[in-house]
Chains A and B, each alone.
Chain A
Amino acid sequence: MDETVTVKKKWTDGFRFWSDREDLLGPLFLFPAVVYIIALVGIPFIIAMAYSVTDVTAGNTSLDFVGLQNFQAILKTDQFTQSLRNTIMFTVVSQIIIIVLANILALILSTDFRGKWFARFLIMLPWATPIALGTIGWLWLLDSKFSPIDWVLRYLHLLGESGALLGEQKNLYYLGRLELAKASIIVIYVWRMLPLSAVILMAGLTSIPQDLLDQADVDGAGFWRTFFQIKLPLILPIMSVALLFSLIFTVGDMAVVYVLTRGGPVYYTQILPTWAYLKGIESGALAEGSATALFLFPVLLAVAIMVLRFSRRTEVT
Chain B
Amino acid sequence: MAVIEIKNLSKHFDKVKAVNGVDLAIPEGELLVILGPSGCGKTTLMRMIAGLEKPTSGVISIGGLDVTELPPRARPIAMVFQSYALYPHMTVFNNIAFPLKAHGKFSKTDIKEKVKWAASILDIEKLLERKPRQLSGGERQRVALGRALVKEPKVLLLDEPLSNLDAKLRASARDSLQRFQRRLGITTIFVTHDQIEALGMGDRIVVMSQGKVMQVGTPQEVYHNSANTFVASFLGSPGMNFIQRDNYLFGFRPEQFVPQEIADRKDDLQLFFFAVTRVEYLGAEQQIYGVVEGSSDEKKVIASLSSETNVRLETGSTYTFAVPKQQLRFFDHETGLRIEPQPL
Q: B29 interface residue, CB < 8 Å from A? A: no
CB distance from B287 to the nearest CB of A (A): 38
Contact with A along B12-54 (1 / 0, CB 8 A): 0000000000000000000000000000000000010011100
User: Which residues of A180-223 have CB atoms within 8 Å of chain B's CB atoms?
Assistant: 209, 211-212, 214-222
Q: Does the CB pair A221–B102 fall under 8 Å?
A: yes
Contact in complex: B83, A209 (CB < 8 Å): yes
B87 contacts A218, C-beta separation under 8 Å: no
The stretch of B69-77, B183-191, B224-232, B240-248 in contact with A is B69-77
**Contact of A316 (CB < 8 Å), options: B47, B71, B85, B88:** B88
A209 touches B102 (CB 8 A): no
B contact residues around A215 at 8 Å (CB): 79, 81, 85, 87
A167 sits at the interface (CB 8 A): no
A60: CB under 8 A from chain B? no
Which B residues, 267 to 309, have Cβ-Cβ distances below 8 Å to chain A? none
Q: Which among A217, A219, A314 has the greatest number of chain B C-beta atoms within 10 A?
A: A219
Q: A214-B52, A215-B81 are in contact. Are A221 and B73 (CB under 8 A)?
A: yes
- Of A212, A215, A217, A222, most B-chain CB atoms within 10 Å: A215
Judge if A317 is at the interface, Cβ distance under 8 Å: yes
> Within 8 Å of chain B (Cβ to Cβ): is A225?
yes
Q: How many A-B residue pairs have CB under 8 A?
A: 66
Q: Does B78 contact A (CB under 8 A)?
A: yes
Q: Is A234 an interface residue (CB 8 A)?
A: yes
A219 touches B89 (CB 8 A): no
Verify B133–A220 contact, CB threshold 8 A: no
Report yes or no: A220 in contact with B102, Cβ–Cβ below 8 A: yes
Which of A209, A211, A214, A316 touches B89 (beta carbons < 8 Å)? A316
**Is residue B103 contacting chain A, with contact meaning CB distance below 8 A?**
yes
A233 contacts the other chain (CB 8 A)? yes
Given known A-B contacts A234-B88, A316-B89, A217 and B72 have beta carbons under 8 A apart? yes
Q: In the complex, are the beta carbons of B88 and A219 less than 8 A apart?
A: no
Please name all residues of chain A whose beta carbon is closer than 8 Å to the beta carbon of B72 when the two chains form the complex.
Answer: 214, 217-218, 220
- A218 CA to B71 CA in the complex, in Å? 8
Interfacial chain B residues near A234, Cβ < 8 Å: 88-89
Chain A residues positioned under 8 Å from B47 (CB to CB): 214
Instruction: Please name all residues of chain A whose beta carbon is closer than 8 Å to the beta carbon of B85 when the two chains form the complex.
Output: 209, 211-212, 214-215
In the complex, the answer to whether B88 meets A220 with C-beta atoms within 8 Å is no
A211 touches B81 (CB 8 A): yes
User: Nearest-CB distance from B197 to chain A (Å)?
Assistant: 20
A230 within 8 A of B: yes
| B88 proximity list for chain A (CB < 8 A) | 234, 316-317
Contact B102 A225 (CB under 8 A): yes
In whole Å, how far is A226's beta carbon from the nearest beta carbon of chain B? 9
Minimum CB distance partner of A233 in chain B: B89
Choose from A214, A221, A233 the contact partner of B98 (Cβ within 8 Å).
Answer: A221
Known interface pairs A209-B83, A316-B88. Does A218 touch B77 (Cβ–Cβ under 8 Å)?
Answer: yes
Residues of chain A with a CB closer than 8 A to B82's CB: 211
Cβ B73 vs Cβ A222 within 8 A? yes
Q: A211-B81, A316-B133 are in contact. Are A217 and B87 (CB under 8 A)?
A: no
Chain B contacts for A314, CB-based, 8 A = 89
Q: Report the minimal beta-carbon distance from A208 to chain B, rounded to whole angstroms.
A: 10
B73, B89, B103: the one within 8 Å of A218 (CB):
B73
Complex CA distance for A52 and B276, rounded to whole angstroms? 92
Within 8 A of B (CB), among A258-317: 314, 316-317
Q: Is B140 an interface residue (CB 8 A)?
A: no
Contact of B11 with A by CB under 8 A: no
The answer to whether the Cβ of B253 comes within 8 Å of any Cβ in the partner chain is: no
* C-alpha gap A317/B81 in the complex (Å): 17
Q: Is the CB of A219 within 8 A of B147?
A: yes
Closest residue of A by beta carbon distance from B157: A218
A230 to B47, CA, bound (A): 21
* A316 CA to B47 CA, complexed, in Å: 27
Residue of B nearest to A215 (CB): B85
B99: interface (CB < 8 Å): yes
Chain A residues whose CB sits within 8 angstroms of the CB of B51 once the complex forms: 217-218
Knowing A209-B83, A211-B81, A211-B83, the reply to whether A220 touches B89 (Cβ < 8 A) is no
CA distance A209 to B85 in the complex (A): 8
- For A138-176 the 0/1 string (1 means CB < 8 A from B) is 000000000000000000000000000000000000000
Q: Considering the complex, which residues of chain B in the window 143-181 have a beta carbon less than 8 Å from any beta carbon of chain A?
A: 147, 151
Rounded to whole angstroms, the CA-CA distance of A217 and B102 in the bound complex is 10
The minimal Cβ–Cβ distance linking A239 to chain B, given in whole angstroms, is 13
Shortest Cβ distance from A164 into chain B, in angstroms?
Answer: 47
- Which residues of B lie under 8 Å from residue A220 when comparing CB positions? 72-73, 99, 102-103, 151
- When chains A and B are docked, how far (Å) is the Cα of A160 from the Cα of B131? 61
Q: How far is A214 from B46 in the complex, measured between Cα atoms in Å?
A: 13
Q: What are 8 sample pairs from A and B whose C-beta atoms fall under 8 A apart? A: A214-B50, A214-B81, A215-B81, A216-B102, A218-B73, A219-B102, A220-B151, A234-B89
Extra inter-chain contacts (18) besides given A218-B51, A222-B73, CB under 8 Å: A211-B85, A212-B87, A214-B47, A214-B72, A214-B79, A215-B81, A217-B51, A217-B52, A218-B50, A218-B77, A219-B98, A219-B99, A220-B73, A220-B102, A221-B98, A230-B87, A316-B89, A316-B133
The 10 tightest CB contacts between A and B, nearest first, are A220-B73, A215-B85, A316-B88, A220-B102, A211-B85, A219-B99, A233-B89, A221-B102, A218-B72, A218-B79
Chain A interface (Cβ < 8 Å from any Cβ of B): 209, 211-212, 214-222, 225, 229-230, 233-234, 314, 316-317
